[in-house]
Structure 1
Amino acid sequence: MNLANRTQKLKDELDRLKRIYEKNEPPENRSDKVFFSKVKENTTPIYDSLGIWEEQALAIVKEKKINVHPHQITSTRENMELLLMHSYYVDVRRKRYMELNKSVHYIFDQLLHEIS
């Protein structure tokens, strides 16, 4: 999968995670093994895709083909990983969640714009 397609797919996941965050309640027991297994099952493919995305994006950034800095790529991956957990555990204030969401969307959009 090329970088543009992977970025778009991650953007779609970001929107799906936001819907999960908005409709979910925090788990009653944060150490519930069944809940943890469900979260892990749902998020592992996204983590994997995010790692590949970071490698692809950094490769293009290093070739100076796009106007995004390497630390922005790394920060975006880290922020998306935070959103993955916050979406299921609902353990951060809405304002902070939306700031992270907006930040990740901004870099994804910037990448897509630069690539095309």
Structure 2
Amino acid sequence: MDSFIELTKQLRFQLLEDCLKRYEDGYKFNRKIYDEFYQVKDESLSQFEQIEQWEDDANAVVHRIPLFPNQIKNTKDNLEIMILHSYFHDVRKKRFMELYQSVMYNLDLILNDAHVTDQ
């Protein structure tokens, strides 16, 4: 459970904030330029692996966290979408911020739950 909480903290305070910063201030990659596409693919591979690991861990302890299985899946999907949008800037800021708020809310639910963090 401790590794799940640490991974949740990494996603919340590092990955999520990196995505927001990259979207607001970062270079807008062009997916039609193969070199840039493969650069994004290489840079984001470890992020996708982290998200996959988080989903597996969350589903393993779903009975001990304040999220339902569909919230876990939606959080994973939204994180993956955010990563891609943060590199390619292909959505409006309002939509990106909706994804950001949704993911942040679900991760904060886990981190702020006393039953989860005390165990």
Q: Is the 8 A contact 1:24 1:90 kept in 2?
A: no
Identity rate, percent: 34
Over 4 Å off, 4+ runs? none
State the match for 1:94 in structure 2.
93
Alignment of 1:41-56 (within 5 A): 41-56=42-57
TM superposition score normalised by structure 1? 0.91
| Cα distance, 1:103 vs structure 2 | 0.4
- Aligned-residue CA RMSD (Å): 1.3
Alignment of 1:49-64 (within 5 A): 49-61=50-62, 64=63
Alignment of 1:27-42 (within 5 A): 27=29, 29-42=30-43
Amino acid at match of 1:13: L
Q: Which consecutive unaligned segments of at least 5 residues does structure 2 have?
A: none
| Cα distance, 1:25 vs structure 2 | 4.8
The Cα offsets for residues 29-70 of structure 1, whole Å up to 9 and x where unpaired, read as 431111111111111001001001001011111xx2122100
Alignment of 1:54-93 (within 5 A): 54-61=55-62, 64-93=63-92
State the match for 2:21 in structure 1.
19
Q: Which consecutive unaligned segments of at least 5 residues does structure 1 have?
A: none
State the match for 1:103 in structure 2.
102
Tell me the number of residue pairs that the alignment of Structure 1 and Structure 2 aligns.
Answer: 113
Task: Give, in whole Å, the separation in 1 of the partners of 2:65 and 2:7.
Answer: 16
Task: Give, in whole Å, the separation in 2 of the partners of 1:17 and 1:3.
Answer: 21
TM superposition score normalised by structure 2? 0.89
